[in-house]
Amino acid sequence: MLSLMILIPLACLLLISFLPLKGKRVAFAVVMALAFFQIYAVFSPSIMANRHLPGLASVFNFTLAVDSLSRIMLLCIGIVIFIALLAAGPFVKEEDKRFYFSGLMILELMGLNGVVMVRDIFSMYVFWEVAAAASFVLIALEKKRDPLEGAFKYLIFSSVATVFVLSAIAIILLISGSTSFTDIRVALLVTPHSNLIILAVGVFLAGLFMKAGVMPFHGYLPDAYASAPAPVSILLAGVVTKTLGVYTAMRIVIDIFGFSTALKSILLCIGLISAIFGALAAMGQKDLKRLLAYSSISQVGYIFLGFGCGTPLGIAAAIFHIFNHTVFKSLLFVNAAAVEDRLGTLDMGRMSGLASRMPITGTTSVLASLSLSGVPPLAGFWSKLFIILALWQSGLYGVAVTAVLTSLLTLAYMLLLQRRVFFGTPEKNMAGVVEAGFNLTLPAVILAILIAGVGLFFPYVVHTVIFPVVSF
Amino acid sequence: MGTQALNMDIVILFLMALAALWTVMTRSLLRSAIGLALTSAMLTILMFRLHAPLAAVFELSVCSGLISVVFIATISVTQPMSQEKVLQHMRDRLERFWYLPILLVLIGIVLSFVSFKFNLSVPLPEIEKDPRVVLWNQRPLDLLGQIIMLLTGVFGIIILFREAKQK
Amino acid sequence: MTNLFLPLLIFGPLLAGCLVVLVPQRVRFLKEALVLAVTAADLVLCLRLFPEEMTLFYPWGAYGIDFSLRLYRFSAFILAAAGGFAFLIALYSCVFMFAKEKGRLFFALFLFSLSLVNGAVLSDNLIVLLFFWEGLLLTVFGLIAIGGKTAFKTAVKALVIVGVADLCMMIGIALVGHLSGTFAISKIQLSLGGLGSLAFVLMMIGAISKAGSMPFHTWIPDASIDAPLPFMAFLPAALEKLLGIYLLARICLDLFKLVPESGLSMALMIIGSVTILLAVMMALIQKNYKRLLSYHAISQVGYMILGIGTAVPIGIVGGLFHMINHAMYKSCLFLTSGAVERQSGTTDLERLGGLAGKMPVTFLCFFIAAAAISGVPPFNGFFSKELIYDGALERGLVFYLAAILGSFLTAASFLKLGHAAYLGPKSEATQKAKEAPVIMLIPMIVIAAGCVYFGLQRSFPIGQLVQPAIENHLEGQDFSSLLPNKKLVAVTAIMLLMALVNHILGAKMKGSGLKAVDYIHDAPVLSGLYEKAERRCFDPYEWGRVFMKGFSYLLWRLDRGIDWVYNAGLPGCARALSNTLSRWHSGSYVTYLGWSLGGLLVLVIFLLSTRSF
């Protein structure tokens, strides 16, 4: 039944494409329904059970699989697609554009779902490309120059990453003769210590790092995030880079390469560099979305730090942090969208005291900032705590301490953001500003409730959702 | 595979690198696009020579076709630079990247001293099937992926070309 | 009689104090009636219990901390005295504090204090004692603090000084507990030397600071100005002396065995002598009724400490006799000052004068008490001082001389006080003064009568009150009917006469009683010292404050420094790094691609070098 996760969106896409104009109006609603279906499906055992489709549909029985990790990613994808679609209202206004936007969202959804569910390295690559292509068209959706440049940058770097991954896949195929995860794993165990394999691993990882946007592979990411239309920024920061980069890296390392000492040190090193320098770079930004983009880099660094421990706790912490990051970063981008919608700018120098003008946006943004900075009892605190605990348990005391100090930096730049944008008294040019519309405050409130809820009920969340992931 | 054939491959590889470099460094967007196509063509030739015809076709269709179209569509809506700006740009580039050739040479020298033994003659496991069979016949999922990819391309082209027309 | 009366002595006033707090401010006579009833009941109960000996023991906590009370002759004596003073001063306060703003709080704290003093005197466990002891510190703080605007500062001063001393005592108690293995007072018998001496000194500090000895005295003169007057008569003049000297006697006689040859006995005598002299010197030059009295309250403690410090029976008996005497005449004196303050509106001696005619009863009481404190026969102070002189002379001529000189100066200063306040021409303030209300007069008269009675019938207080309390330490001697040493009496008489002559001459020379002893004030070296003393240059509290100011300034600088690191240093670094990073992010494809390729290169080389696959 897993095939449904791809087939139903595809059917919907064809449906809205080939229906006359009437269908285009309902495009948004269709995507919304798809997002709901996705969230429902994650919690539905009958869909998640890997049963074959009956009868004629058996043509579409693909080799897909889900485990807890995949399910969390599917959930994240569903949530973010839903949020992005809600937030798209004020930014995608023309009817035909709405149609294309919806279509691309469905394509993105299919691509991401595919990446999450396949257990074959080449299929993974194909869906990877689908998601990437959909992303850069989405970035370029606006007519202006900046989005085109951002899209172009994303395209270039994406293709470089593609080249890396593709060549690595080629080498692996050369050696293993198969592309399914299990076969490759066995083949790699049979032929260890080959320079060629090492090269393949290195190049593969580099490609994934580029997609994940960790330092020093991150160059394109701030431009892409900052120039994309608001809903697309939410999508990119929330799930696209996380799925294409972070999830894939985790999947490949867990299922194929396994944790070797060298691999762990690479992951930790990359994580540490990203966490520190991402945070430092974020401090100096003047553009709201660029700041959030660098913060995203820093948080991905944290995820890799947790993952790089290689211990069950570390992996669980990394996954938990992926989920939390998805939620609070989406929320921050929703807030940025609200600000952009009302002010027409993202330059933080021209904002002041918005909290009094936009109370919902201000409040939810504070919540998200605190969660991001790891302030108890919000969700972000627990995942960061787990990451640091995992580091400590692995005997990486220096790294753990650095991670703690870096979270101070995080707090610093988030407070800087809050002070510049939301706190204080509004200046004269803020006089006419009012709270953003319903379709920007609703997602903000939903995400804020998620942050607080996961934070407060974290023992339940951790034991029922997060820890089962590492029981492999 | 004879030495001569290998030499030929290296020449093509070199040409491909040249074309790629030209693509990146040229001032004119049109030339750049042509360069991209040339690069793709070289790669395709290389793949044919390496007995991977299907991969070659795929490369030709995806890289030269789809991605180039998106690429051209993207740049077609940007403003061309004036002559002065181009010169300025060149000067800037010279100023900023003067060290790149030196670095390249240095890295080459260093790498020539380090003997990376790419043990190409690893004992390969038995490949029972032709890679083509592996890739295409047993992979409906990839086929689905390709279809979705094509759809994405179509959407992209429509959107970006419409933008161009409006301009 | 059951021994449940003992906790009643503690919890009765405590509960009554709580009730007083609950009485609405507008209800006039209820709280006064309540206080009077409780103090009267307390007094009656104490008198009824006087001949009894009883103990009460409740296991309370671990580590030898038990709620154990013990009533025996010594504590019964102190309890009875405290009860008496409490009742009389409560009576006095009913008028003095009537309808005053903080009256309710005053009475509540008054009762709390009584409860705590009872508890401290009764407790037979050092920890329990400490609990009541520290509690008293808080009520003292509260009683001073309700005085007025500047009172809070004084209250803090008292809290700090006594708090430091109490801290010493706490450590001393811990040491005693460590050394003896028990906190039960009646079971402790330690010897001096080594840690024992340290413990003795620490506990002694606690005891003499409660009594108000130097160098823990400086809050008392300040409090005399700021605090409500009945407080001065109640605590620093009477109950705290009783309590402090009681504990000192217990320490010297029961917990430790102070012997005349020991250095600690010498130390106590030196503290006593210095306190006598310095405090009386300060008293001599005061120009305020209450302030002058407060310095005497300090000075007289010196006699008690000197007496107990001699460690010979006659000295100890003298010290304890002086304790009760002092409590009587000093509270009487404070009460007269309160009456003067109430009737004339001031206690500034320069604005007083000629009150003897206006307030004859007050004057009479003052006269008796002043004669008693100066050691004029046949009042009580004379006899206790003679005993102390005897003891001091036995230990060394120097101490005797210090004591007798103190006596001379005391007499001189009271001549000055009496002359300035009650004799001489009437001032503007005293012109319309009338005799104080009867209810205020009653306590004064009773206490003054007590002074006379204790002097004339000294065999009763010495024989019935003091000697039974310390009967184990008398070495079989009986001082109750002992006639004073004739030579010493002669010296005392000469001293007193000299003081009188000195005053008459001085007053004639300067033209007023107030300035009779100014020549001492203006003496070449003394004037400078006096000036400094008045400016509180010799106040350890002020030294502490200066030190703390310097220390806190240092800490402040340190804090600023750390603050700078956090506020400017670290953010500066972060900003510099961040700006550098921003500069590197030029938006150039080639740069970014270069980073990525560099990263790839490093990755591959690292993996190859580790050869981990």
For residues A173 and C99, the model is more confident at: A173
pLDDT per residue as tens digits for the range A290-339: 888 888 999 999 999 988 888 888 888 888 888 888 888 889 888 888 88
Question: Of C593, C596, C608, which is closest to A195 when you measure between CB atoms?
Answer: C608
Q: Does B70 score more than 70 pLDDT?
A: no
pLDDT at A18: 76
Break chain A into its structural domains and give their ranges: 269-472
pTM: 0.57
Range scoring the smallest mean pLDDT among A71-80, A425-434, C188-197, C392-401:
A425-434
Query: What HEC string does C414-457 produce?
Result: HHHHHHHHHCCCCCCCCCCCCCCCHHHHHHHHHHHHHHHHHHHC
The answer to whether residues C320 and C467 belong to one domain is: yes
Residues C468 and C602 placed together within one structural domain of the fold: no
Q: Identify the residue with better confidence: C595 or C60.
A: C595
B148 to A111: CB separation less than 8 angstroms, yes or no:
yes
Q: Which two tokens stand for residue B21?
A: 């470099």
Asked if B124's CB is within 8 angstroms of A175's CB, the reply is yes
Residues of A in contact with B140 (CB under 8 A): 59-60, 62
Residue C276 has what pLDDT? 85
Lowest mean pLDDT among A124-128, A131-135, A176-180: A176-180
* Same domain (yes/no): C520, C599: no
Work out the percent of chain C whose per-residue pLDDT is above 90.
Answer: 0
Q: Which two tokens stand for residue C64?
A: 């030898």
Angle between helices A4-18 and A27-42 (to 10 degrees): 170
Asked if the C-beta of A193 comes within 8 angstroms of chain C's C-beta atoms, the answer is: yes
If DSSP codes are grouped into helix, strand and coil, which group holds residue C136?
A: helix
Tell me which chain A residues have a C-beta less than 8 angstroms from the C-beta of B126: 177
Q: Touching check for C607 and chain A: CB below 8 Å?
A: yes
In B, minimum Cα distance to A63 occurs at B141
Decide if B97 touches C, using CB distance below 8 A: yes
Q: Bigger pLDDT: C453 or C470?
A: C453
Beta bridge partners of C70: C55
Q: How many domains does chain C have?
A: 2
Whether residues C292 and C367 share a domain: the answer is: yes
Chain C contacts of A206, Cβ < 8 Å? 596, 599-600, 603-604
State the Cα–Cα distance between residues C241 and C235, nearest whole angstrom. 8
A472 pLDDT band (50/70/90 cuts)?
A: very low
pLDDT at C360: 82
Say whether residue C587 is in contact with chain A using an 8 A CB cutoff: yes
Residue C33 belongs to a domain: no
Output the pLDDT for position A193.
Answer: 60
Structure tokens at A310: 């290689």
Q: What is the spatial distance between Cα C327 and Cα C84, in angstroms, rounded to a whole number?
A: 11
Q: Is residue C559 in a domain?
A: yes
Distance CA(C521)–CA(C202), nearest Å, equals 35
- Residue B65 — pLDDT band, cuts 50, 70, 90? low
Residue carrying the six token digits 């988030």: A414
- What is the model's pLDDT at position C461? 76
Rounded-to-integer distance, Cα C289 and Cα C283, Å: 10
Which residue in C has a C-alpha nearest to residue A283's C-alpha?
A: C578
Alpha helices in C263-396 (DSSP H): 263-284, 289-309, 313-344, 355-358, 360-374, 380-395
pLDDT, residue A94, reads 74
Residue appearing with tokens 């402790």: C188
What letter represents residue A425's amino acid?
T
Give the pLDDT confidence score for residue B66 in this predicted structure: 55
Q: What is the pLDDT of residue C137?
A: 83
From chain A, pick out residues whose CB is under 8 angstroms from the CB of B120.
196
End-to-end alpha-carbon separation of chain C, Å?
94
Question: Of A392 and B72, which is predicted with more confidence?
Answer: A392
SS3 state of residue C67: strand
Assess whether pLDDT exceeds 60 at residue B166.
no
DSSP string, A273-299: HHHHHHHHHHHT--BHHHHHHHHHHHH
> Does C338 share its domain with C419?
yes
DSSP A300: H
* pLDDT tens per residue, range C86-139: 888 887 787 777 666 777 778 888 888 888 888 888 888 888 888 888 888 888
How does pLDDT run across C481-530, given as a tens digit for each residue? Answer: 666 677 777 888 888 888 888 887 777 777 676 676 666 667 667 777 77
- Closest to C608 (Cβ–Cβ): which among B24, B97, B116? B116
Judging contacts by C-beta atoms under 8 Å, the chain C residues touching residue A205 are 603
Q: Is 80 exceeded by the pLDDT of residue A214?
A: yes
**pLDDT at residue C3, as a whole number:** 66
pLDDT of residue C347: 76
Q: Which of A266, A331, A321, A297 is nearest to A413 (CA)?
A: A297
Q: What pLDDT does residue A467 have?
A: 66
**C479 confidence band (pLDDT: 50, 70, 90):** confident
Asked if A202 and C578 come within 8 Å (Cβ–Cβ), the reply is no
Closest CA to C76 of C56, C58, C53: C53
Measure A180 CA to nearest chain B CA, in Å. 11
CA-wise closest residue to A447 among A270, A293, A325: A325
Which segment of A125-134, A387-396, C450-459 scores lowest on mean pLDDT?
C450-459
More confident residue, C15 or B65: C15
C499 and C406 within one domain: yes
| Closest chain B residue to A108, measured at CA | B152
Residues of A in contact with B119 (CB under 8 A): 194-196
For the stretch C546-584, pLDDT in tens is: 887 888 888 888 888 888 887 777 778 877 887 887 777
Cα dihedral sign, C20-C26-C27-C30: positive
Rounded-to-integer distance, Cα C373 and Cα C328, Å: 10
Interface check A257 vs C, CB under 8 A = yes
Which range, A277-281, B65-69, C230-234, is most confident?
A: A277-281
* Contact between C607 and A160 using a beta-carbon 8 Å cutoff: no
**Where are the domains positioned within chain B?**
1-80+129-167, 81-113
Domain that holds residue C560: 541-610
pLDDT higher than 60, residue B128: no
Name the residue with higher pLDDT: C186 or A249: A249
Lowest mean per-residue pLDDT among A67-76, B22-31, C65-74, C280-289: B22-31
Question: Per mean pLDDT, which range of A129-138, A163-172, A349-358, C436-445 is the poorest?
Answer: A349-358
The verdict on A148 touching C (C-beta cutoff 8 Å) is no
Burial class (CB in 10 A: 0-12, 13-18, 19+), C561: exposed
| b (16+ CB within 10 A) / e for A287-299 | bbbbbbbbbbbbb
Domain assignment of residue C255, yes or no: no
The pLDDT assigned to C293 comes to: 83
Cα A440 to Cα A32, A87, A141, B137, C367, distances in angstroms: 15, 5, 20, 47, 90
Predicted confidence at residue C133, as pLDDT, reads 84
Per residue in B32-42, pLDDT (tens digit) is 767 777 888 88
Nearest residue, CB atoms, A209 vs list C574, C599, C610: C599
**Looking at residue A100, what is its pLDDT?**
82
B118: which residues sit within 8 A by CB, 6+ positions away?
A: A195, A196, A199
Residues 6+ apart with CB under 8 A from A201: A168, A257, A263, C607, C613
Per-position DSSP letters for A177-235, written without gaps between them:
S--BHHHHHHHHHHS-S-HHHHHHHHHHHHHHHHHHT-TTS-THHHHHHHHS-HHHHHH
Tell me what pLDDT residue B122 has. Answer: 47
pLDDT at A46: 74
Q: Nearest-5° angle of CA B96, CA B100, CA B101? A: 130
Burial class of residue A329 in the structure, from the number of CB atoms within 10 Å of its CB (0-12 exposed, 13-18 middle, 19+ buried): buried
Residue to test with chain A: of C573, C577, C592, C597, most A Cβ within 10 A: C592
What pLDDT was estimated at residue B4?
67
Mean pLDDT (whole number) for A253-266: 84
Question: How far is A219 from chain C, CA to nearest CA, in Å?
Answer: 5
Q: With CB atoms and an 8 Å threshold, state whether C603 touches A157.
A: no
pLDDT band at residue A470 under the 50/70/90 scheme = low
CB-CB neighbors (< 8 A) of A151 in chain C: none
B 22-51 → C contacts, CB under 8 A: 24
- pLDDT score for B127: 44
Q: Using the predicted structure, report yes or no on whether residue C62 has a pLDDT greater than 80.
A: no
Find the farthest-apart pair of alpha carbons in chain C and give their distance in angstroms, rounded.
115
Indicate whether B2 pLDDT > 70. no
- Whether C559 and C482 map to the same domain: the answer is no
Chain C CB within 8 Å of residue B96 CB? yes
Regarding whether C461 and C366 lie in a shared domain, the answer is yes
C171: helix, strand or coil = helix
Residue C169 has a pLDDT of 85
- Look at residue B133 in the predicted model and tell me its pLDDT: 53
Give the CA-trace dihedral at A213, A219, A220, A226, to 10 degrees. Answer: 90
- From the candidates B114, B155, B161, which should be mutated to test the interface with A, based on the most A CB atoms within 10 A? B155
Per-residue confidence (pLDDT) for residue B125, from 0 to 100: 46
Confidence of residue B75 (pLDDT cuts 50, 70, 90): low
Give A-chain residues touching C576 at CB under 8 angstroms. Answer: none
C59 assigned to some structural domain? no
* Cα–Cα dist A83/A38, whole Å: 13
pLDDT at residue C2, as a whole number: 59
Residue A96, C-beta contacts closer than 8 angstroms, at least 6 positions apart: A24
C-alpha span between C599 and A217 (Å, rounded): 7
- Residue C315 CA, chain-centre distance (Å), reads 22
Distances (CA, A) of A307 to A328, A454, A465: 20, 21, 17
- Range of A298-302, B54-58, C41-45, C320-324 with top mean pLDDT: A298-302
pLDDT at residue B62 is higher than 80? no
Whether residue B95 lies within 8 A of chain A, CB to CB, comes out as no
In a domain, C578, yes or no: yes
Same-domain check for residues C439 and C561: no
| Cis status of the peptide bond prior to A222, with omega within 30 of 0 | no
Residues of C in contact with A154 (CB under 8 A): none
